[in-house]
Structure 1
Amino acid sequence: MYDQDRNGRPAYGYGSASALENEMTLSAYVGKIMRRVFGKMTLGLLLTAIISMLVASNQALIITMVQHSWMMWGLIIAEFAVVLVLSARINKMQATTATLLFYLYALLTGITLTPIFFVYSGAAIVKTFFITAGTFGIMATYGYMTRKDLSRMGSILFMVLIGLIVVSIVNIFMHSSMLDWIISLVGVAVFIGLTAWDTQKIKQMAAETVGEENVSKVATIGALELYLDFINLFLYLLRIFGGNRN
């Protein structure tokens, strides 16, 4: 069991144990929470992949979705709603509810990602997935291990992301292939950086969290943030490496 400070957080240099002992204990505690974060994120990605492939293989369902475009828009709106509710109200909801909402979001994303199977070849999707996994793993490891404060970089990347969203919306009407290529490159750079920043931020949150209920909530919100980083990085890379289209 780890020592605790006056606020109940895992001690770092408190109590009768040495500072080194406390640091090692805190590191093990944080590592345990981070494993739960990455575990939930991985399960979310698996759920997304399975649902997406199942929907893509159901021709009747695909035809229905094509004929009724409002269904896809409804799913996209539902995705945004789930993220907003989870991000804004996670501290007020039960940990189990938060977890279920995260997996609901992963399920909805699996359905809305189905079109990629009709735009890109299976080989391109698999190749891009492994490129994404490797890049994500390297940057998450860096974010976890580095002692450099990435918060300033994260703030800049967030502002760039907002600009990227605006430019992407504008390009829907412009249909500029050159701008689309630039957006893809910038998007990859942004989510590579955000992966490292979010990992560091979640690690800091884990170090300040006590109580099974709160730990579970941190694992859920952390999994959601990293899940979003992975999915967006994958989609931007797919636009670059998708190459062979069906």
Structure 2
Amino acid sequence: MTDRYQAPAPARPAESVLATNKVIRNTYMLLSMTLLFSAAMAGVSMVLQVPHPGVIITLVGYFGLLFLVSYLRNSIWALPAVFALTGFMGFTLGPIVSAYLALPNGGQIVMQAFGGTAAIFLSLSAYALTSRKDFSFMGGFLFAGIIVAFLAGLAAIFFQMPMLSLAVSVMFVLLMSGLILWETSNIIHGGETNYVMATVTLFVAIFNLFISLLNILGVMNSD
């Protein structure tokens, strides 16, 4: 009895990235929860009228918790660390939002910044997911640009240079938009397999994008 030749089965149609990539599904699920938790913590600090802790405490808390998340990235304690980081960032965001809401047109500024942040994130994420283009080439430029913008931002704060602060905000809008494309592409093409770190990267991009848009819109809507 001769063996019968069996033709290979035809390739299945490409499925949605969100349905086939577990890292992306977990990333967006965790990202949604951290955004809600961060917003809740911002609301708590606004209700309690907590003053902003200042640049030094904010940076120490942020980088300390970021290091903790990175250290625990493959541990079951990574998730509590992520919520500690995003909750802390939300708590420090509350006084900033309160300051803008105290302006005559503050509510409009906050809503415009929120809408702009959502529109940029959703459109860039959708483009990266549907086009599946590889944006890995942007990595070196983005991280070098973030370091330069971060140092310039510190200089603007300590030396009270409003125009430099505005320029830094514009830089951060561009850099964070690029970071969203880069990280989403990184997940799609297997460069990032840890959904905890992917979530943190996207959260930080969204957070800085919102803060930068607040600053830009605040200047544009002021006298």
TM-score category, normalised to shorter length: 0.7 to 0.9
Please give the TM-score of this superposition, normalised by the length of structure 1: 0.75
Query: Conserved in 1, the CA contact under 8 Å of 2:146 and 2:172?
Result: yes
Residue 204 of structure 1: how far off its partner (Å): 2.5
Match of 1:196 in 2: 181
* Greater Cα offset, 226-235 or 76-85: 76-85
Match of 2:3 in 1: none
AA of the residue aligned to 1:55 = S
**Is 1:119 matched up with 2:95?**
no
Match of 1:11 in 2: none
Could you say if the C-alpha distance between residues 51 and 89 of structure 1 is closer, same or farther in structure 2, counting changes exceeding 3 Å?
closer
**Is 1:145 matched up with 2:118?**
no
**Is 1:222 matched up with 2:198?**
yes
Match of 2:89 in 1: 109
Query: Conserved in 2, the CA contact under 8 Å of 1:144 and 1:199?
Result: yes
Could you say if the C-alpha distance between residues 26 and 157 of structure 1 is closer, same or farther in structure 2, counting changes exceeding 3 Å?
closer
Residue 18 of structure 1: how far off its partner (Å): 4.6
In the alignment of these two chains, the number of paired residues is: 210
Query: Conserved in 2, the CA contact under 8 Å of 1:128 and 1:237?
Result: yes
CA distance in 2, matches of 1:26, 1:203: 8
Match of 1:20 in 2: 11
Query: Conserved in 2, the CA contact under 8 Å of 1:141 and 1:196?
Result: no
Q: Structure 1 unaligned segments of length 5 or more: list them.
A: 1-15, 210-217
Please give the TM-score of this superposition, normalised by the length of structure 2: 0.82
Match of 2:120 in 1: 135
CA deviation string 1:1-28 (max 9, x = no partner): xxxxxxxxxxxxxxx9657328549873
- State which of 46, 56, 60 in structure 1 corresponds to 2:36: 46
Match of 1:77 in 2: 60
CA distance in 1, matches of 2:160, 2:78: 39
CA distance in 2, matches of 1:25, 1:129: 28
Q: Report the RMSD for the aligned CA atoms in angstroms.
A: 2.7
Residue 148 of structure 1: how far off its partner (Å): 3.0
Richer in helix (by share): 1
CA distance in 1, matches of 2:186, 2:33: 21
Q: Percent identity?
A: 26
Query: Conserved in 2, the CA contact under 8 Å of 1:128 and 1:242?
Result: no
- State which of 66, 70, 81 in structure 2 corresponds to 1:87: 70
CA distance in 2, matches of 1:45, 1:17: 46
Could you say if the C-alpha distance between residues 90 and 123 of structure 1 is closer, same or farther in structure 2, counting changes exceeding 3 Å?
same
**Could you say what secondary structure the match of 1:112 adopts?**
helix
Query: Conserved in 2, the CA contact under 8 Å of 1:76 and 1:112?
Result: no
Query: Conserved in 2, the CA contact under 8 Å of 1:143 and 1:198?
Result: no
